[in-house]
Structure 1
Amino acid sequence: MNALSIPTWMVHVSSVVEWIAAIWFIWRFAEVSGESAWKALSFAMLPALVSAMCACTWHFFDNPTSLNWLVTTQAAMTVVGNCTLCAAAWWIWRARRAQESHD
């Protein structure tokens, strides 16, 4: 737990909490607006959340070499998350275009 300072821990933890809140708010927006394509964005945000949790876990245990696999998992989840976020943005764009063509 000594690997990071208290202010750095505050940034890490608040970022994870904010990301979880963003996922929830986007899901609620999809429900309230009836635009279900936005739910894809909520799901697409999950790999980035896993990435952040890997980083926090690794730092929590003082960055031991025995947990280096968490660093690899974090990197992989960042790449996967970027791809899923891109796909979700495309999904939302496509849904909006389809909706506009029907109006």
Structure 2
Amino acid sequence: MHALSLPTWWIHITSVLEWGLAILAVQAYGRLRREGGWRWLALAMVPALVSAMAACTWHLFDNSEALKGLVVLQAGLTALGNGALALAAWNLLRLQRPAPEDGTP
């Protein structure tokens, strides 16, 4: 656990907890508004959460070369999460737009 200073650990851990709470808040907001698109946004947030957990795990074991695969996993999950969040945001925008009056989609 010597790879990071105590303040840096504090930021890492609280960021992971904050992201988890944000997922729950997005789900609650979607339920409150009865709009299913928010569930997709919350689901799209999960890869970023797992990515952060992978980074914390790697740091916990002093950035061990034996766990270098966690860095690759983190990078892949970050890319997947960014793409998923973009699609979920686009979906929310699509659901919020009013339907055209001529009946075309």
State whether TM-score is above 0.5: yes
- Cα distance in 1 for residues equivalent to 2:14 and 2:41: 21
**Runs of 4+ that moved beyond 3 A:** none
- 2:99 corresponding residue in structure 1: 101
User: For 1:21-66, what per-residue CA distance to the aligned partner results, in whole angstroms no more than 9, with x for missing partners?
Assistant: 0000000000011111111000000000011000000000101000
Unpaired segments ≥5 residues, structure 1: none
Percent identical among aligned pairs is: 48
Question: Which has the higher Rg, Structure 1 or Structure 2?
Answer: 2
- Cα distance in 2 for residues equivalent to 1:81 and 1:37: 16
- 1:19 corresponding residue in structure 2: 19
- 1:76 corresponding residue in structure 2: 76
- 1:56 corresponding residue in structure 2: 56
- 1:35 corresponding residue in structure 2: 35
- Cα distance in 2 for residues equivalent to 1:101 and 1:85: 24
Unpaired segments ≥5 residues, structure 2: 101-105
User: For 1:56-89, what per-residue CA distance to the aligned partner results, in whole angstroms no more than 9, with x for missing partners?
Assistant: 0000010100000000000000000000000000
RMSD: 1.3
- Cα distance in 1 for residues equivalent to 2:99 and 2:44: 26
Q: State TM-score, norm by structure 1.
A: 0.95
